[in-house]
Amino acid sequence: MSMSNTWWRGAAIYQVYLRSFADGNGDGVGDLAGLRSRLPYLKDLGADAIWLNPWYPSPMADGGYDVADYRGIEPVFGTLAEAEKLIAEAHELDLKIIIDVVPNHSSTASAWFQEALADPAARDRFWFRDEPNDWQSIFGGPAWTQVPDGQWYLHLFAPEQPDFNWDNPEVHQEFEDVLRFWFDRGVDGVRVDSAALLYKSDTAWQDLDPVHDVYRHWRRVADSYDDRVLIGELWLPDQESLARYLRPDELHTAFNFDFLSCPWDPHELRRVIDLTLTTHATVGAPPTWVLSNHDVTRPVTRYGRADTGFAHGGALHGTPSDPELGYRRARAAALLAMALPGGLYVYQGEELGLPEVEDLPDELRQDPMYARSGGTNPGRDGCRVPLPWSGDEPPFGFGGPSPWLPQPENWRKLTAEAQLADLDSMLNLYRTGLRLRRSLLGDGTLHWLPSGDDRVLAFTRESGVTCVANLGPEPVPLPDGEVLLASGRLEDRLLPPDTTAWLRTT
Ligand code: GLC
């Protein structure tokens, strides 16, 4: 099999946040039964693969990123037998399944941590110390918690998420075994959570050299199976550091958070796209294009603000957003991202143009970021609201009478059902875009076209498709060629502001 033909290099990967996708048993929480019943929706959308956030038994202190058992399924989501059925049914439809593996930290409810609590001699798999240092948790507050006998353990995230000690060979053994456990069950890929964090020194807690050896070993495990993929979640300061994780014997791909965080600005976007392409080319890894996920502000809301970049920490939460402008730009951004060479991620609800829900009642917020920041950071619940599927009022066909987070009353027009019936909807833009992307674009390269206006991004793909995105304030004339798809209405071959079009030019 040639490298360039492996499925993940140009795949459109749909991210399922299981708790909020579809509820099959009516308890208000999304589950495997709900997902299985909606697989045809994902197939029709044009997804090549599904990435599921953690589905393991978990006390849900951080939405499942506090994993109590890496070889099981959270009972609220279903059973291992159901997970195996899901994998089989997805494969029937030619959809790949990617799961989330969390190697940096565990759950205080895990057998290993319970053992460590009970017996100070069994603490080497975690970071126990007699004295804490001054590190702060990424979710706010101190990164150390004291146990009854006086020692402290490290948790870069919530106190319920103790960090593993990767200097302990047992931890290595455990995770290689976990990878095999799921690959043996047909899982096609693994998204590696917080992938740069694993090793710590006295002064640093991320991007330390030995972490690369971990992924070299994981790569050997993955390569001992047929065509499996390892995908890194790496928030790093620059693309060069990112590319080091994508060397040919390490991870296959990573999320492009520079693109996700980039403001709606033609110069910044062009810079990020070019930098992404050149740094990924140095290691032969396909770039990826990401507009949103379960940790960040929904694009429709972000692009409607005066500051269109994404910033961690909720700094922009609640700042004014023009919904119409944000929606138009989110459509244009979607077609831009879909036209770029490499892999594409679509976070559930992005295809419905859901806005960030910024007015959730505080007492319903569940993200630990909210409580640990003393309420200054609203957290990530606003992008995790259960999907609206059908009908005129909540729960909009999600399942059960009351979803775990309330849906806005005015999501009637945003249901999948309503949008399928509307040719101009966001959902139909994604459906058409993903279908065309598959037959015309995918993996490869791009060539920038000269343009008289540097606020217009125009490039051609080797398939002969040209993508033109107008980020300037005035309509611009389109080049010659048949228009295949546009994110907004064209008038006399003029491309309006904040609009993207695809044309066949050769
Ligand atoms: C990743 C996940 C995020 C989680 C964190 C800790 O960043 O995407 O949701 O809270 O890791 O596991």
Of the residues 51, 53, 65, which should be mutated to test ligand 1's pocket, given the most ligand atoms within 8 Å of the CB? Answer: 65
Nearest CA to ligand 1 atom 8: 295
What letter would DSSP give residue 499?
E
If you measure from the C-alpha of residue 479 to the centroid of ligand 1, how many angstroms do you get, rounded to a whole number? Answer: 43
What pLDDT does residue 314 have?
A: 85
CA distances from 176 to 165, 180, 223 (A): 15, 6, 12
What letter would DSSP give residue 7?
G
Of the residues 52, 55, 62, which should be mutated to test ligand 1's pocket, given the most ligand atoms within 8 Å of the CB? Answer: 62
Residue 325 identity: L
If you measure from the C-alpha of residue 139 to the centroid of ligand 1, how many angstroms do you get, rounded to a whole number? Answer: 10
**Phi, psi (5° rounding) for residue 258?**
-65, -40
Of the residues 194, 206, 234, 310, which should be mutated to test ligand 1's pocket, given the most ligand atoms within 8 Å of the CB? Answer: 194
User: In ligand 1, which atom is closest to the CA atom of 62?
Assistant: 10
If you measure from the C-alpha of residue 435 to the centroid of ligand 1, how many angstroms do you get, rounded to a whole number? Answer: 31
Nearest CA to ligand 1 atom 2: 193
Nearest CA to ligand 1 atom 12: 65
If you measure from the C-alpha of residue 229 to the centroid of ligand 1, how many angstroms do you get, rounded to a whole number? Answer: 20
Q: Which two tokens stand for residue 18?
A: 């299981």
Nearest CA to ligand 1 atom 4: 65
Distance CA 413, CA 390 (A): 9
**Is the peptide bond prior to 75 cis by the omega test (within 30 degrees of 0)?**
no
If you measure from the C-alpha of residue 194 to the centroid of ligand 1, how many angstroms do you get, rounded to a whole number? Answer: 7
CA distances from 81 to 32, 71, 73, 86 (A): 10, 12, 9, 9
Secondary structure in 3-state letters for 358-375:
CCCCHHHCCCHHHHHCCC
Burial of 432 (0-12, 13-18, 19+ CB in 10 A): middle
For β-strands 12-16 and 343-347, DSSP reports them as: parallel
Do 275 and 258 contact (CB within 8 A), yes or no? Answer: yes
If you measure from the C-alpha of residue 64 to the centroid of ligand 1, how many angstroms do you get, rounded to a whole number? Answer: 9
If you measure from the C-alpha of residue 499 to the centroid of ligand 1, how many angstroms do you get, rounded to a whole number? Answer: 33
Mean pLDDT by 10 residues, the chain (506 residues): 70 98 98 98 98 98 98 98 98 98 98 98 98 96 97 98 98 98 98 98 96 98 97 96 98 98 98 98 97 98 97 90 98 98 97 98 96 94 98 97 97 98 98 92 87 93 95 96 97 96 91
If you measure from the C-alpha of residue 450 to the centroid of ligand 1, how many angstroms do you get, rounded to a whole number? Answer: 40
Nearest CA to ligand 1 atom 7: 194
If you measure from the C-alpha of residue 65 to the centroid of ligand 1, how many angstroms do you get, rounded to a whole number? Answer: 6
477 forms beta bridges with 494
User: In ligand 1, which atom is closest to the CA atom of 66?
Assistant: 12
What pLDDT does residue 441 have?
A: 67
Helix ranges (DSSP H) in 3-144: 32-37, 39-45, 80-92, 111-118
What pLDDT does residue 172 have?
A: 98
| Long-range CB contacts for residues 444-452, cutoff 8 Å, separation at least 24 | 444/10, 444/341, 445/277, 445/341, 446/277, 446/340, 446/341, 449/479
Distance CA 283, CA 299 (A): 30
Do 291 and 337 contact (CB within 8 A), yes or no? Answer: yes
Pick from 276, 293, 292: which is nearest to 342 by CA?
276
What pLDDT does residue 452 have?
A: 84
User: In ligand 1, which atom is closest to the CA atom of 295?
Assistant: 9
Residues within a 6 A CB radius of ligand 1: 62, 65, 102, 157, 193-194, 233, 294-295
What pLDDT does residue 439 have?
A: 78
